[in-house]
Each structure stands twice: as C-alpha cells, then as structure tokens.
Chains A and B, each alone.
Chain A
C-alpha cells in the first residue's frame, strides 16, 4: 500500500518537475555566464524591432573591404557588445534581448507588466512616451565629445542631430531623451516601364485612375493620413508662394500635421477613393508584389525600398524610387531609456548608454546597415568608414560611362568643408538605391516630421480610418436597411413557426 502511494507521489512529483522545467532552464541559462563575478554584473533588458540589429554569422566572402579596413560580422552584435563592455569598463553585462513587431505592441508590453531598460521605438512613440513621462534623460557624460568611447555624439550626423535638437514636445527636446538609430523617408517605389518618374513624384498617384488596381498603399493610419494630406493639399504645397516663404519648414510641418475636422473628412473621402482605386492596403506584401511585377507602384519606406530594388535587381528587373514633390515623411527609430527599468541604477544606465555608443561605432554601424538595409543616423564624424561604405555600395566602377556626382555633404559634413562628400555614382542611382538610402538634400528639404497626435486627434483620425477600412453603414441606402431588417424578421418568424410545428407533431 505505502509503496503504491510512494509511486503515485513520484508520478505527481514528475509532473510538477516537468511543468517547472521551462522556468528552470530559462533561469539556469540566465544566470549561467556570470557566476564568477556576481557583484559586478549588470543586466540590461533591451527590446528592439525584429531583425533590427546584426546577428552575425556572415560568410567570409561577405566581408566589406574598405580603404580603412575590412568589416565583417562574425558574431552577433550583442555578444560583441558584452565582450567590448568587459574589456573597456571591466564590468560584465548580461543582455536580455527581445523583439517587438509594432510600436503599439511595444507600448502594450510596457503597459502590461514588461519592464525594459532600453527600447527602440519610432519617433512618434518616443514622443508619446516623453509626454507620459516614462523616459529617463540621457546623462551629461553621454554628450561629452572628449570621451572617445562616446561614439554616438562624436559620430552622429550633424543634420540628424539638428533635427533632434530642434524638435521638442511639452518643452522637452528629443535630443535629451533619444539617441537616433535608423532613419528614412517615405516615397513611392515604381516600375519605370509603367510609371514615369514625374507621375510617381506626387502623392496624387495613389488615386490616379490611370493606375487602377496597380498601386499598393500602407495599411496603417499614420502613413495613409500623411499621404492623403499631401495629396489633398498638393496645390498649396507645390505653389511658389508656399515654397519661397521664409517659414517654409514650420509651415510645412503645420500643414502636414493638420487635423482640422474638415481636413479629416477630406482625407476620409480621398482615402475612400484610393481604396476603390488601389490594388490593396498592405503591411508586408507590397515588397513582394513589386518584385514580382504584380503592381506598378508601391507606397514604401525608404529602407524597404532599397531592399525591394535590390531583390528586383537579382532578377534583372529594374525598379526606381521617387519622393513626392509635396512633402515626404521623415521618420526615425531611436534608443530611449525607460524609467521603470533603469530607475536610479547608475550602473545600468551606464551600460545602456554604452550599448547605444557601441552600436554607433563606425564598423558596427556598417554591420547593422548591411544586415538591416536601413540608413543609420551616424555619419561617423572623424571616422570616414561610413562614407566609404556608401561609396563602396553605390560608387561607379572605373570606366563606367554615365556617371554623376552625388553630394551627401548635408548628411556627412558639419558645413565647413564643402565638396568632400561626393560620390561619383552610376547616373541611374540618382533615382534608385542610393537615392533611397541617402536622399538628396533637395528631397530632404521637403521633409516633415509627423507629430504624435493627442488623444482627441487620435480618436478622430482612428474613426476616420475605421470609416475607410470597414464597411461604412451610413453609406447604405435606406431601402437596403429596411430590406435587411425585414429579412431578419421573416427568418425569425419561420424559425419560430417551424419549432412550434415540430412540437405538435
């Protein structure tokens, strides 16, 4: 009897152990590598976009050979960071790295019990987190240019830094809270055989009946809203008077972030037209549809545009990229530190800032850019390798015929030396990968940030989006509604009658 009891107890114990296994294995893994130096180990919880950092494992032949040395990603950036941090500061750091799918997913995770130290959302989510007072400002030491390990402040593009310094929300400057990571603009990827560059250079292409069912547009409210505002205000935005106004940039930003009720209703009307005209609202299929030639044009972010064109090139299928004349949305993803993760822990904050700096070191920037395909906000400062990388990617081969000079001074130089940052590239790169990776100063001059809307504006815009994306019941003619109600009544009546009938039988 007792033996049997023992047996059962053993089985139950087994079940319990099995159930706890995942917890144990994860714990064990987590505490495995820092045993010997427990007191000095820092844990850093980082959350980033999926596939948004170099995970290493490159082949030998993928080595990027630059004048200032080769760059190759053998191990993942996170492993390299751990080693570098220990070598530089003598402190072991453990990185708990995780990923998120959208800004909103990240926001939900933060609200529902997950704590992170360092995250990398887009600019509007950074602004939202700033207004909610959830972010920890970057430390003063982070901005000391004398420390050579401060790769971020020594390497960030002067242009991007000026944007971060000039943008504020609730009186707080972006640059105090966020360190940029990747950036880009929105535009149109198009098939030059079917669409002319001129046609693709206006947001109005989205509703152009000439491309009925041949254009895809982003399936998210912010991108669609921006494009629609650009299209409805096209005449104003391209007028001489508006362009030559001394307050052009402020005006542009105000116009592109206009959420007046009449504008919202116009946007709704416009997007409903777009919905009838376009091939689909997509969130990921747009790239594949472009590459396979299924559609003629696709509203795209510049980083993904580069990828689309690269992939199409492999099939000898030429695509191009255009930035609309009206305005383009410039966007950033940036590192921010969270109060509920870091708190008062100075060691943690130091590790978090070091993580940003390590990812801003020129060779690591190149690794990340190569792996992700987006454009880093880092121009390298005194380190010329990032410019060399751009030249390595897009510079013309010797003896190539149609070559043009492509000036990237606005991004790489701090305005003193002119003409130093010019790539001589094949002429078609002026509207292809190079243009998408590093847009011209002219295209950038028309760029506007998209603000973080407040609650009321968000509500109005979301309602507009629901009206566009879902079937709009108010559009149904009266007789359809009457007919539908009648049909339901009849069906219910028949049901009741049959039930009664079957009772008597």
Chain B
C-alpha cells in the first residue's frame, strides 16, 4: 500500500511538473519544448528550434521527478541533432533542471561527435540556452588531430568557441 501511494504521488508530481513546465515555456519562449516520461520507466525530453527541428533529445531510464523542477535520470543518453550529424552523450547519472534548462551529467561522462569533437570527464553541464558544454573538473577532448587536456573548460556550439581555465595541454598529432 505504501509503495502504491508513493507511486501515485510521484505520478501526480510529474503531471503537475509537466503542465507547469509546458505552461511556462509557452509564455516565455518561441522555442517549443516537449517533455515526456513515466515513473519507473523511460524519460525523454525534446528541444526544438524555430523551424521545428529537434536540437536536443535527452533520454534515460528510471527518472525521478523533484518538486524543484529537476528530473534525475539513471543511465542517461543524450542525443544532439545537428546539421553535421548526431552527437551522443552518456554518463552514469544526469539531472535535468527544467528552470535553468541545463543538464548536469556525472560519472564517466563521454561525449562523441559533438561538432566533430569528443570529450571525456567526470562532470559535465550541458546548457540548452547557449548550447554549451561545461566541464568543471579535469577533462580530455579530441577533435581531428588535436587533443586537449585541461582542468576546466567550456565549448560553445555557437561559433565553435572553446576556452579552458588552469593548466592546459594541447597536442597536434597529424
């Protein structure tokens, strides 16, 4: 009985979250977002651009919906749809903040084919507003013959800008 009641509360919380989230988006942004999931099952979130193309697809298993507009996903997988192809982001755990529109990934974070680059680290924040990847701990990146190691860094998909902080090492190996 306790388990059933907990599940019911979670479902209500999720429905409330969904309604509130979509309501906020309709008022504040021309970009249409779609959030779909079920407690104890799969979860996915789609983020569209003005032309109706899917820019981001965040998916995973066993979502937990918090009242603070956060969705924690186990075994998360994120796909970024871009003109150049699909990027794949994986990690052990992801927390998607619907208000900040950012997704924090922790544990063995792997990013492949993001603007022809690949990244590895332990903590990554994906921001949907400026389409950036933010590493707050040591990470490695590769793009073609270039490889990079740094203590912190961020990559902006817009303009393909990249910056690091602290000790940084770049190698060009043709």
Q: Do A and B bind each other?
A: no
